[in-house]
A and B are shown apart, each in its own frame.
Chain A
Amino acid sequence: MTISANTDSKPRSFQEIILRLQTYWAGKGCAILQPYDMEVGAGTFHPATTLRSLGQKPWAAAYVQPSRRPTDGRYGENPNRLQHYYQYQVLIKPSPPDLQALYLGSLEAIGIDMEMHDIRFVEDDWESPTLGAWGLGWEVWCDGMEVSQFTYFQQVGGYDCHPVSGELTYGLERLAMYILGVDHVMDMPFNDPNAPIALTYGDVFKQTEEEYARWNFDVANTEVLLRHFEEAETECQAILAQEHVDPKTGKTIIMAHPAYDQCIKASHIFNLLDARGVISVTERQAYIGRVRALAKQCADAFVQTRAATGEAA
């Protein structure tokens, strides 16, 4: 079974917007990566962004990242708030001088006609206290709606970024709803609406939004989560405490990525605990500080690796 390809300037479905972004950024020379296979709060947590923005080695990658923000759950009822959603992430190091133009090109590629819409770059400095990272940039508005975050990374894991990476993050659902003219995320066509089995976003995610909202807010076992947090923290530090030279192979193997996985895990568990409402304001700062300490140690490890220095193996 086949359906005719969409030759209009306007995409017809959520997935078509993703596909167009993939094609566009592939055409601009980015490596199209796949989502990271762990629960993260945002595309920035993907090691292809956090770790790869460190060090000298040039880098250009784009990918979709499923992201989870337990506190944003609305049982699938809010027109555009979800506890599980998708981000499209682009990271180019060093940031090219025409990054704004490249970005605007991507909006045209997904069917936003610059002649009809009002695109604005509104100050929004980015900071991730858990990653010890910050940058300056904007949120990009299309007709008053935030469609992307545009950031020049200045520091990650406590390290100054040299060269500076340019990071673009698209909130895919909101952007797609706008382009497709849908008022409620659950009504958005996921695949081609002309397909024999046409699916909406709601067909795919309405039930899971309900299930996770209930679990996130009321059921998740906080004792277990607290224990997992501690375990991830301990494991992360234990990994990084290992000798750099592997006794079995005799190679220098700094395990920055496995340690960073534990850092991501701790961060997500913290978000779940936050959604369960068991973290007080003061404790909150302490937890964030603990995750940041892990991120910092992972950055310390990563900058010593070949992926950062660009040295040959």
Chain B
Amino acid sequence: MPDLLIELFSEEIPARMQARAVEDLKKRVTDGLVAAGLTYAHASSFSTPRRLTLALEGMLAESPTIREERKGPKVGAPEKAIEGFLRGAGLTMDQLEERDTPKGAVYFAMIEKPGRPAAEIVAEVLEDTIRNFPWPKSMRWGKGALRWVRPLHSILCIMSDEAGTEVVPMDIDGITSGDTTEGHRFMGAGRFAVTGFEDYAAKLKRNHVILSAEERAEAIWADAQNLAFAQGLEVVDDKGLLAEVAGLVEWPVTLMGDIAEDFLNLPPEVLQTSMKEHQKFFSVKNPKTGRIEKFITVANRETKDNGATILAGNQKVLFARLSDAKFFWENDVRTAKAGASEWIEKLSNVTFHNKLGSQAERIDRIAALAREIAPIVGADADLAEKAARWAKADLSSEMVYEFPELQGLMGRYYAEFAGHPAEVAAAATEHYSPLGPSDDVPTAPVSVAVALADKLDLLTGFWAIDEKPTGSKDPFALRRAALGVIRLVLVNNIDHSLEGILDPGLAAHDGKPYSRPDEHTRFELMGFFLDRYKVVLRDMGYKHDIVDAVLSLQTGDVLPWSNARIASLQAFLSTDDGENLLQGFKRANNILSQAEDKDGVEYSYGADIKYAEDDAEKALFAALDKFEAPIAEAILGGDFAAAMAGLAGLRAPIDAFFEAVQVNSDNEVVRRNRLNLLARIRTLCLSVADLTKVEG
């Protein structure tokens, strides 16, 4: 069985697209081959900046022959019907077979689709793959109409087995397939022919190309660590950068260089961001000083001077880049020292959203909200307002203009120069958090106040103008903001209703020209929060039915926060007592519902022990008398563990009652008394959670 080797050789493919592209190549080609009947034993794919490669082992030499029997018209059917059948089957009259069936003589066609040689199928599938390749962005070049990520130069497509190697012939808009490729753009020795995958990979290596991206990344990382380690330093881990750099080189040569003394006092984040974004350098840290003192760059070739010229050039570029960063830093520090009033002023000219006004207006709202929230989270109101007014100031700074990803972080550095206290500085960075589910949640009270105010203003604002997330569209990350609010509340144990912090946020938009006059705004927003809250709870490992059982006790909002109640209920229901109590409740509830349907009344009051006939019945009265009040008290006091303990105490009497007593007694008085007794169980259980929603 032959092996297949395909290489699509082009001008430089963007690093970020390579991994996905080889997967697409593999999937599209193998799917196409398999659909045509060509199976194979093993497939592997590779990418370098200039090539996508696919190697298949043990492919069928031809697709299997397929035989199909097709039933046609009756013998003696109208000529037109027979002609149509022949056309469809691609046969002539003499190739048909007459067979007797219970319905008389019928024509049968035996259609045989002969197998096709693999080369033919490969050429078709590959052409289709190339012409319809799902590049995120593709282009035309020269006079042609073919699209590829960058100009496609050559197609290597060969099949090889013991007998030898043959080119799979094809021509795509003038690019003819062959058995040749080339190595490294500068270190390779021109085009060469290959006979199979092993020969290909070996010749590439001889021509200074490491075919596997993983192998290149591993080599880069090992060399980088060795270089740093030799000088007592460590490389700052960055997997994304490593993958990108591995996609920029065919023959990685790792070099370490110095950062000029002038720049070592810039904030490490500035150094790291500037080096990574502009130069794709790794940062090298001195563990003793905590500073970033060197960089690592990866060249794409060896040189006679062991990279000295290349390193010197890179160093020079870095010098210029960091001169810029230093220029921004110094200007910013000067502005900050002068109080940064120009930054704040500038924000009045920056539109936050064309309906919701400028950044400055938004900051005013956040500041007012932060004041209101401050006492709830234990923060000083003046400090919270101050922090809110500072939190976005760095958006006007030169550094953040250049590196938007440094927002918040620069605010923290500059706060110090502007003479703000540490709480204000911390809030500048922390108020954006939590950004994602793995991001830390701030706990410093001032940061919490500003973080909540920032997110609540965002949510209430977009609800006021009715621009809510729909489906996958959430351009202002409102879902993330709501999740952020919930996590802030939970992590900080904020013992306060959501309405209490939401209402002042909503009030800030009241009566504004952009605000829709709709009393449902608040209700909808609460519903949105409820949905997010369920997501959070599920992520925390709570069962969805238990979450629903507890949250459905609330009306329109999620208050009070119910984690403790849910946790207690989930724990209780996993015990033997809990499981049995749940069954007892369900049984009671079923009997009641049926009786209520039948009798057309609701049983709720008036169970009296004097009508109790059975000991088990009397014992249940006693148990309910004993536990009702403590359970109600425990719920009121938020002690859900105690409430569950109370319920556990009811399990045995309820079980015993159902064991001994027939509810539907012939004596109507006794029956009603028993139904009213079950109603007490129902009411009590439902005060803990809507147990009808619990599965099982």
Which of A24-32, A36-44, A121-129 is the interface stretch? A121-129
Residue interface mask A89-100, B partner, CB < 8 A = 1: 000001111001
- Asked if A78 meets B327 with Cβ closer than 8 Å, knowing A94-B143, A121-B12, the reply is yes
Which of B11, B149, B317 is the one whose CB lies under 8 Å from A121?
A: B11
A273 → chain B closest CB, angstroms: 13
| Listed residue (B16, B142, B281, B324) with the most chain A CB atoms within 10 angstroms of its CB | B142
Nearest chain A CB to B16's CB is how many angstroms away? 7
- Residues in B with CB closer than 8 Å to A96 are 142
Q: With an 8 A cutoff between CB atoms, is A152 at the interface?
A: yes
Question: Which of B304, B313, B323 contacts A79, CB < 8 Å?
Answer: B323
Nearest Cβ on chain A to B82's Cβ, whole angstroms: 52
- Nearest residue in A to B350 (C-beta to C-beta)? A281
Q: Is the CB of B351 within 8 A of A142?
A: no
Interface residues on A, range: 35 or more
With a cutoff of 8 Å between Cβ atoms, the chain A residues found around residue B320 in the complex are 79-80
Place the interface of chain B in its size category: 35 or more
User: When the two chains form their complex, are residues B350 and A117 in contact, meaning their CB atoms are under 8 A apart?
Assistant: no
CB-based contact B303/A116 at 8 Å? yes
Q: What does the 1/0 interface line of B342-364 toward A look like (CB < 8 Å)?
A: 00000001110010000000000
Chain B residues positioned under 8 Å from A80 (CB to CB): 320
Which residues on B sit within 8 Å (CB–CB) of A230? none
A178, B139: Cβ atoms closer than 8 Å:
no
8 A Cβ contacts from B140-185 to A: 140-143, 149-151, 153
Interface string of B544-566 (1 = CB under 8 A from A): 00000000000000000000000
Contacts of A95 in B (CB 8 A): 141-142, 151
Partner of B151, one of A79, A97, A142: A97
Query: Mask for B176-204, Cβ within 8 A of A = 1, else 0?
Result: 00000000001000000000000000000
In the bound complex, residues from chain A placing their C-beta under 8 Å from that of B151 are: 95, 97, 152
Within 8 A of A (CB), among B292-326: 297, 299-301, 303-305, 309-314, 316-320, 323-324
CB nearest neighbor in A for B138: A136
With a CB–CB cut-off of 8 A, which chain A residues contact B49? 121
Taking the complex as formed, is A257 at the interface, i.e. its CB lies under 8 A from any CB of chain B? no
- Decide: A118 and B299 in contact? CB cutoff 8 A: yes
Q: Are A145 and B316 in contact (CB under 8 A)?
A: yes
A183 within 8 A of partner (CB): yes
Contact pattern, A 109-150, Cβ under 8 Å of B = 1, otherwise 0: 000001111111111010000000001111000111100000
**Which B residue sits closest to A56, measured CB to CB?**
B143
Which A residue's beta carbon lies closest to that of B318?
A144
Verify A116–B12 contact, CB threshold 8 A: no
The reply to whether B12 and A138 form a contact with Cβ atoms under 8 Å apart is: yes
A272 contacts partner chain B, Cβ-Cβ < 8 Å: no
Which B residues touch A256, using CB under 8 A? none
For A97, give its contact among B138, B153, B279, B318 (CB under 8 Å): B153
A-side contacts of B324, CB under 8 Å = 78, 81
C-alpha spacing A137/B11, complex, angstroms: 9
> Once the chains bind, are A164 and B297 in contact (CB under 8 Å)?
no
With a cutoff of 8 Å between Cβ atoms, the chain A residues found around residue B141 in the complex are: 94-95, 152, 164, 166
Interface residues of B (CB under 8 A from A): 11-12, 14-16, 49, 137-143, 149-151, 153, 186, 248-249, 279, 281, 297, 299-301, 303-305, 309-314, 316-320, 323-324, 327, 349-351, 354
20 more A-B residue pairs beyond the given contacts A100-B11, A166-B141, with a C-beta to C-beta distance below 8 A: A78-B324, A80-B320, A115-B303, A115-B304, A116-B310, A119-B186, A119-B300, A121-B11, A122-B12, A143-B309, A143-B310, A143-B312, A143-B314, A144-B318, A152-B150, A152-B151, A163-B143, A178-B313, A280-B349, A282-B351
Contacts from A to B (Cβ < 8 Å): 74, 78-81, 94-97, 100, 114-123, 125, 135-138, 142-145, 152, 154, 161-164, 166, 178, 183, 280-282
A-B contacts, 27 listed (Cβ < 8 Å): A74-B327, A79-B320, A81-B324, A94-B142, A116-B305, A116-B309, A117-B309, A117-B313, A119-B300, A120-B248, A120-B249, A120-B300, A122-B15, A122-B248, A123-B14, A125-B137, A136-B137, A136-B150, A143-B311, A144-B281, A144-B318, A152-B139, A152-B141, A163-B143, A178-B313, A281-B349, A281-B351
